[in-house]
Amino acid sequence: MSRFSMKKVLVTGGTSGIGFAAARRFLAEGARVTITGADAGRLAEAEHALGDVVALAADARDVGATTAAVDEAARRMGGLDIVFLNAGAARFASIETADQALFDDLMAVNARAVLFTAQAAARHLPRGGAIVVNTSVNGRMGMPGTLVYGATKAAARNLVRTLAGELAPRGIRVNAISPGPIETPIYGKLGLSPEQLQGIAQTLAAKIPLGRFGTPDEIAGPALFLASDDASYITGTELVADGGWTDVMS
């Protein structure tokens, strides 16, 4: 396939999970790809595994670094056509355990970075360009224990709508891919014990009509669809990929 032949693509948070899967699929379909990541070791490993990519260090919490990475990606590739804003963070907390530090950190990664990375990218994107944002079903539902995380993802979803309206006159589309539970390393970063993680996994899988977690490739595919010309008349929407969890009774 060559849907993205010679397209210039930036994937933030491209070192593992959904971002890595998307970068690999963009490459397979002919794109030139730049990935970003906050951890130098994982960034080097991803660069080696993917092959012909540009790998740039940038922490989504640092607006200056992320903006510089966008500009550098455009410089190295000779422009930008597609941006997949995938970088994100997840830590769960309830009304009793949430604190300001957690709120500020998750909001910085999951919402502020979306706005300012999109702002930087919009300076380079041509008519026909596309931005895809990785949101979450937690932004659509009131799941106990995800108080802060869900709020940041809801903020990201609203940014998608507003950015879509602002960039539509320039012919730039903005959409969201909203994953349900996915088998990615992010679950290991929730600050929970292996036993707690196993309990959460079993509980969630029982509620998902398809009966399992999704895979990174099962999110990368819909994300690439939204970035492609196949979705040329779609903007401002959120495509939910959650095994039926939020819309089907199990």
Find the distance separating the first CA and the last CA of the chain, reported in whole Å: 36
Q: Is 75 exposed, middle or buried (0-12, 13-18, 19+ CB in 10 A)?
A: exposed
- Pick the catalytic residue: 4, 26, 149, 245? 149
Helix (H) or strand (E) holding 149: helix 147-167
Is 149 marked active-site? Answer: yes
Residue in 72, 59, 153 with CA at minimum distance from that of residue 106: 153
Q: Are 175 and 160 in contact (CB under 8 A)?
A: yes
**Distance (Å, rounded) from C-alpha 29 to C-alpha 188?**
30
DSSP of 185-250:
GGGGGSS--HHHHHHHHHHHHHHSTT-S-B-HHHHHHHHHHHHSGGGTT--S-EEEESTTTTTS--
**Distance (Å, rounded) from C-alpha 60 to C-alpha 105?**
10
7-35 per-residue burial string, b: 16 or more CB within 10 A, e: under 16: bbbbbbbbbbbbbbbbbbbbbebebbbbb
**Distance (Å, rounded) from C-alpha 156 to C-alpha 9?**
21
**Distance (Å, rounded) from C-alpha 142 to C-alpha 140?**
7
Catalytic residue positions, numbered? 149
